[in-house]
Structure 1
Amino acid sequence: MNLETEKLFWQAVHFLIVKKHYRILQISKNHQEVWLEKTENKESPIIRLLHTDLDWSNRLKTDIEMVALNGERLRKRLVRGQLNITNIYFVPLPPVDDYEHLLTNPYIPAGKRKIKVTSFIVDEAKRHISLNHLRSVFGKELVFDENLNNDIEIEIHRLRHEAISIAATRAKAEESVFESGKPLLTYFFIIVQVIIFALMELQGGSTQTSTLIQFGAKFNPLIIEGEWWRFLTPMFLHIGFLHLLMNSMALYYLGPLVERIYGNIRFLFIYIFAGFAGVLGSFIFSTNLSAGASGAIFGCFGALLYFGVVFPRLFFRTLGVNILIVLAINLMFGFTVPGIDNAGHIGGLIGGFAAAGILRFPKKRKYGTQILYFVGTAVIVMAMLQYGFSGSASVVDKQSIIILAQDYIQGEEYDKAHKVLSEFHEVEEDSTEILFLLSFTEIKRNNLDDAKDQLHRVIELDPNFHEAHYNLALVYLEENSLENAKTYAENAVKIEPKRDDYQELVENIDAFIQVNQGN
């Protein structure tokens, strides 16, 4: 091998690693071939440099095809749509036969048009032309020491040792970013949510509204009444086995990555705060009862996005494309599929990003930036809480009031049911469902006159509300107004003739009437 050409080879490698921050993908045992990577550089993300002898153009052609084949493997590994490879040969002399046509245009292999190999030769015969070409590609700051002396071997050794050492040090520093903690808490959270799911199934079923409310699901009416812990407990609950399975799998794959980057204590804060932020977002923008670890899991996405902001090169080289694709799919899924609490997902995403900004990374603190994140996050959280509890936001709707009232009624807490129904009825237009439930609580509280008024109003609004006719018949029967009771019982039968209890009530009233007439 020619020492002068080898020196140029290592000067180029040294420059790309030290000045341009390329990373070593692979290096041959004899140190004469080096593959470098810098995915942030869109024009030259992969550079392959080879110090060799090229006697004939056939060898050059075969080598270029081999570079394209390796490039296709790299493209798939990097999940790139298009990959450009800059391929540089350092040779004492170019091939003796015609070879220029192989360098005129980039090589694009047949059937694999996503790979483009741009090759050129640096040779002693056209030394200055070749070096100027290199500078045009990589910048004028690429300087070659062309002073040839007896210490050329020492200089080559120095350049090689320094370039490889710096690349190794950087690679080790990058790897250390992913070694801040072992994923212990991730598995702990998975175990906790599985145990709670089993308890919910034993207590009536995880899809039952009453069970979800009992275990602490996000339910705006109860949060308004002061049950603040419902900002935290929903992240450990799941609605059905499929919900549990999907969230557990997502946490299993995302959690360890975040925990390794941020460490155990930081991961704990990120996960819990993101879960809280997800529930807060759902509280403000969704009136539906909800539960699940989705907000906290989206917080893991948020923490990884913050990692990408601070370390963009490392992020896009290791995680970026895959994480962004998965996140985009999940957000699109949330926007297009009914029943998904996307407000909770987005709240968790923002919360995870903010929590990561407050804590940053182990041994990489920036107190000024962290304080700004903390103050900004605290202001936003307080403003959202104030907005939600002030009554300005529509955090409670008719359906949630009905669910709450039914839960109270099921627990025979009729005064509580009456209170929430009455308060909602005062601010909303007449609703047959609200009035009907309100009348039921009045019956249970022995306020029959109020119950009758409300049931009559229900029938006025909806003459086919058969349950209202039936209950009104029962009220009149309780007051011994048998004719009125018979009228409304018969109305119920006409509307819903298949109900045996309605028909039985008519028969019982007829029997009472006959007894009274006999007396």
Structure 2
Amino acid sequence: MSLAASPLPAQDEIQAAPAVRPWLTATLLVSICAIYAIEVMRPVGGGVKFTPSIETLVAYGALVPDLVAERGEWYRLLTAPLLHGSLLHILMNGLALWSIGPDLERRVGRTWLFVLFFLGAIGGALGSFLLNPSDIVSVGASGAIMCLIAAAFVVMFHSREARRWDLQWEMLRAVGLSLVPLIFIGSHTGIDGAAHLGGAVTGFALGGLLWLNWEGEGPAPRWRYPARLLAGLGGVLFVIAIARAGTLHHQYALTAGMIPSSEVPVGNDATLRLGPALIQQYPNDPRSHWLQGQVYQLTDVHDLGNAERELRLALADPLLRTRFLPDLRRKMEFDLAELLMETGRSAQAVELAKPFCSTLDDFMMHIYHELCPPAN
């Protein structure tokens, strides 16, 4: 078929998107790299060099569904996408952002690019919040980047470029591969497939919206003013979220006097052997009271009265709420519930054990059937 008979217009008849320098993509890339540098240079607790500890990530605003749902720390939906867990993590996401950002910035403009990144970050964080276990710690810009890739795939249907199908196939393949951990492997790989899914779904939806409302053969989508409003809102919310994370950082960073996580004894023998020394060395850690309570129960004296007192002191410590994840409190409450059951206060024990029981599977519920009776 000759060019004149083709239903597609000639290449030079189509208005191309203006060439722009990708300074917004560069700004986003520099920003997440700078934040990663702060994580590495000002860590909380231990951790390997260039690999921030879990405590560091939580203190800087990582997404933990428990902290969002139980403490109302919604700012983590926006701070988590700006954080990264290792040098490889930031390198991979940085390369992905730079591979898709400049071209998409040229196609849709800087304002829409920022809107896509902002809404993609929220979409990815919501996917992680809704689909991951409640105690999973999630960070990374991959949800936002998946949104950019998915949106670019849809937006390119507007293009008449000769390599369009090749480019779209690469984008679709990237999105598909990013979902493999969620679909076939699960959440125990260190890759947050739920965030990828949330970002991709957001990107396909927003990309379709832009494609359907493109301005004829023009170089950019319409709705410039709504885009500016959304971009402004996104910028303000990012600033508020970062400020909130900074305000609460000192509470999560109270590591002075805390027992290193790697030194907390596991098992009765280790508790009896190591517990007394840790209690003396770290008296301000609420876990010291918890350990002391276990020591009272495990020794030949079997002092349940003092054990209960120590457990209640641990649960009353404000650091337990501001420094540790909620699952630690649930474990302490369950230990106290077992002690109450042993001393004949079964009704109090069952009520206190409920938060921990809700996290157990059927097998463990059967083992702890007295403390976790089946619902009527």
Report the equivalent of 2:105: 259
Report the equivalent of 2:137: 289
Structure 2 contact 81–141 (Cα < 8 Å) conserved: yes
1:440 and 1:460 map into 2 onto residues whose CA distance is 19
Structure 2 contact 257–285 (Cα < 8 Å) conserved: yes
Report the equivalent of 2:206: 355
Letter of the structure 2 residue corresponding to residue 350 of structure 1: V
Instruction: Please state whether the residue corresponding to 1:267 is helix, strand or coil.
Output: helix
How far 1:310 moved relative to its partner?
4.4
Structure 1 contact 182–263 (Cα < 8 Å) conserved: no
Structure 1 contact 308–314 (Cα < 8 Å) conserved: no
Tell whether 2:52 aligns with 1:207: yes
Report the equivalent of 2:125: 279
Match for residue 248 of structure 1 among 75, 79, 94: 94
Report the equivalent of 1:298: 146
Instruction: Please state whether the residue corresponding to 2:190 is helix, strand or coil.
Output: coil
Report the equivalent of 2:338: 457
Tell whether 2:23 aligns with 1:184: yes
1:266 and 1:352 map into 2 onto residues whose CA distance is 12
Larger relative CO (CA 8 A, sep 6+): 1 or 2?
2
The 3 A distance-change label for structure 1 pair 278 and 312 is farther
* Per-residue deviation, residues 414-459 of structure 1 (Å, max 9, x unmatched): 6xxx9xxxxxxxxxxxxxxxx9x965614859xxxxx999458279
Report the equivalent of 1:196: 35
Match for residue 321 of structure 1 among 134, 152, 169: 169
* Per-residue deviation, residues 162-190 of structure 1 (Å, max 9, x unmatched): xxxx63523x53xx13x364311111111
Structure 1 contact 269–355 (Cα < 8 Å) conserved: no
Structure 1 contact 216–233 (Cα < 8 Å) conserved: yes
Structure 2 contact 175–200 (Cα < 8 Å) conserved: no
Report the equivalent of 1:221: 66
Task: Return the index of the structure with the highest Cα Rg.
Answer: 1
Structure 2 contact 81–140 (Cα < 8 Å) conserved: yes
2:12 and 2:337 map into 1 onto residues whose CA distance is 82
Report the equivalent of 2:5: 19
Letter of the structure 2 residue corresponding to residue 195 of structure 1: A
Structure 2 contact 117–147 (Cα < 8 Å) conserved: yes
1:315 and 1:277 map into 2 onto residues whose CA distance is 30
Letter of the structure 1 residue corresponding to residue 61 of structure 2: G
2:76 and 2:256 map into 1 onto residues whose CA distance is 18
The 3 A distance-change label for structure 1 pair 444 and 227 is closer
How far 1:305 moved relative to its partner?
2.2
The 3 A distance-change label for structure 1 pair 438 and 265 is farther
How far 1:232 moved relative to its partner?
0.8
Report the equivalent of 1:167: 10
**Structure 1 residues 380-395: aligned runs within 5 Å:** none
Structure 1 contact 217–233 (Cα < 8 Å) conserved: yes
Flag structure 1 segments of 5+ consecutive residues without an equivalent: 1-14, 23-165, 375-403, 419-434, 446-450, 462-519
1:365 and 1:186 map into 2 onto residues whose CA distance is 18
1:218 and 1:452 map into 2 onto residues whose CA distance is 24
Query: Normalized per residue, which structure has more strand?
Result: 1
* Per-residue deviation, residues 262-321 of structure 1 (Å, max 9, x unmatched): 111110000111011000111111131100010011011111122144458767346222
Structure 2 contact 182–192 (Cα < 8 Å) conserved: yes
**Structure 1 residues 502-517: aligned runs within 5 Å:** none
2:209 and 2:76 map into 1 onto residues whose CA distance is 24
Instruction: Please state whether the residue corresponding to 2:75 is helix, strand or coil.
Output: helix
1:210 and 1:345 map into 2 onto residues whose CA distance is 24
Structure 1 contact 295–349 (Cα < 8 Å) conserved: yes
Structure 2 length-normalised TM:
0.54
How far 1:219 moved relative to its partner?
1.2
2:41 and 2:183 map into 1 onto residues whose CA distance is 33
Report the equivalent of 2:242: none
Identity %: 26
**Structure 1 residues 421-432: aligned runs within 5 Å:** none
Report the equivalent of 2:350: none
How far 1:222 moved relative to its partner?
2.0
**Structure 1 residues 477-492: aligned runs within 5 Å:** none
Instruction: Please state whether the residue corresponding to 2:122 is helix, strand or coil.
Output: helix
Structure 1 contact 299–352 (Cα < 8 Å) conserved: yes
How far 1:247 moved relative to its partner?
0.7
Report the equivalent of 1:424: none
1:246 and 1:453 map into 2 onto residues whose CA distance is 41
Instruction: Please state whether the residue corresponding to 2:3 is helix, strand or coil.
Output: helix
Report the equivalent of 2:191: 340
* Per-residue deviation, residues 68-94 of structure 1 (Å, max 9, x unmatched): xxxxxxxxxxxxxxxxxxxxxxxxxxx
The 3 A distance-change label for structure 1 pair 217 and 257 is same
Structure 1 contact 210–407 (Cα < 8 Å) conserved: no
The 3 A distance-change label for structure 1 pair 253 and 222 is same
1:313 and 1:323 map into 2 onto residues whose CA distance is 15
Structure 1 contact 299–351 (Cα < 8 Å) conserved: yes
Instruction: Please state whether the residue corresponding to 1:319 is helix, strand or coil.
Output: helix
